[in-house]
Amino acid sequence: MLEQKRALNIYAGEHGKFTTPNADQWALVSNLTETLGPIEEVTFEMSKAEASISCIIPSIAVLKMVLQAEGPTTRGIKTLRENMFQSLEKRFSKMEKTKCLALATLLDP
């Protein structure tokens, strides 16, 4: 929707059958896109057939850094970022503590 914002506004102006999101809603969509973009990229990279285990640790570290970085201050987006970070911490906390995975990533061709 964000990519087609201009076209949607023009269509709504010409036909008047529906309303478009207001400025606050467009800002929320923009902030949501900015927040979810890195997660989409990491998911895409890890889903490739040639992806290896050696990309997991760096990818998780990057996602944590992105989610912890100063981002949009919209209340819903800030809460979303915090929840996503806590979820990553919960799911991958054991991974960082075990040396087996680190060794496997080192040996992975």
Q: What is the pLDDT of residues 70-105, one digit of tens each?
A: 777 677 888 888 899 999 888 877 766 666 666 666
In a domain, 53, yes or no: yes
In a domain, 54, yes or no: yes
In a domain, 35, yes or no: yes
List CB contacts of 66: < 8 A, sequence separation 6 or more.
38
**Predicted confidence (pLDDT) per residue in 22-70, tens digit:** 888 888 888 888 888 988 998 898 888 887 777 777 888 888 888 888 7
Please give the pLDDT value at position 86: 92
- Number of domain units in the chain: 1
In a domain, 63, yes or no: yes
pTM beyond cutoff 0.75: no
In a domain, 102, yes or no: yes
In a domain, 2, yes or no: no
The domain of 27 spans 23-107
Percent of the chain with pLDDT over 90: 7
In a domain, 15, yes or no: no
In a domain, 18, yes or no: no
Residue 75 tokens, joined: 């209340």
